[in-house]
Amino acid sequence: MLLADHRLLVTGVLTDRSIAYTVAQRAQQQGAEVVLTGFGRALRLTQRIARRLPTEPEVLELDVNDPDQLAAVARDLEGRWGRVDGVLHAIAHVAPDGLGGRFMTTPAATAEAAFRTSAFSLQALSGALADLLERSPHGGSVVGLDFDASVAWPSYDWAGVSKAALEAVNRYVARDLGPRGVRCNLVAAGPLRTMAAGAIDGFDELGGIWEKGAPLGWDLEDAAPVADAVLFLLSPLARAVTGEILHADGGVHAVGAPGRA
């Protein structure tokens, strides 16, 4: 199996429609042992959804903006496994006044909070677990969830800016952890009808771009293609890949306008 003897930390599981849930599900099917994280009032949601996985995993509390909680998770995994083979960073948040066409009126505090939670947190999480990732016999792997930040998209606003920052953070983490045998990559997903998507005014317009323009086609309800790209990057098959952005978006990033030839 692709992830036999792998021990993975998966963040961001809120519903069974999320990319993170599908990653955890398919990772278990491929032989991995998984621990999830949850945060605040959503912790109980994560605990309930965990019961739907093939093997119910433990859920650790983690506010990625809290250094004490990051340290506590690292200590738990140190005692539990002694190492970590892979981490899924599926963490992002932008307040409503930073989305839905409000770009020019967004206050600085919203933009700063979006950067910290959505981009800086990749450095924080990777740094907290770096010693454990370095011990992986498979080569430690950090994978973050991205959305193509090379252009401006309708309604995405400060989430798009945060993803551009995430892409830069990814390159620097790859640079600094590479000598320790730890990889860091992103998967740029096409839009999916997740809980996060429900917070974006104008999501239907964004999703329509993919439905009309993806050369391979795109299903807004199916997270499996994105999850499988994540599994590849978590696996030893990607042992020479770091600092990369792998697009799992049906090909939209590669074409200039909607419509198939």
So what's the pLDDT on residue 150? 93
Average per-residue pLDDT for the chain = 93
Residue ranges covered by each domain of the chain: 7-254
Kind plus residue range of the DSSP H or E element containing 37: strand 33-38
Distance CA 132, CA 217 (A): 39
- Per-residue pLDDT averaged across 160-175, rounded? 98
- On whether the CB atoms of residues 7 and 84 are closer than 8 A, the answer is yes
Distance CA 200, CA 236 (A): 36
- Residue 202 — pLDDT band, cuts 50, 70, 90? low
The structural architecture, per CATH, of the domain 7-254 is 3-Layer(aba) Sandwich (3.40)
What is this structure's pTM?
0.94
Instruction: Please list, in sequence order, all residues whose beta carbon lies within 8 angstroms of the beta carbon of residue 4, skipping any fewer than 6 positions away.
Output: 30, 31, 32
pLDDT tens digit string along 109-143? 999 999 999 999 999 999 999 999 999 999 999 99
So what's the pLDDT on residue 199? 61
So what's the pLDDT on residue 211? 83
Residue 232, token pair as written in the block = 């590849």
Distance CA 218, CA 193 (A): 12
Q: What phi, psi does 189 have (nearest 5°)?
A: -90, 155
- On whether the CB atoms of residues 42 and 97 are closer than 8 A, the answer is no
Distance CA 201, CA 155 (A): 7
Distance CA 235, CA 247 (A): 17
Distance CA 105, CA 99 (A): 10
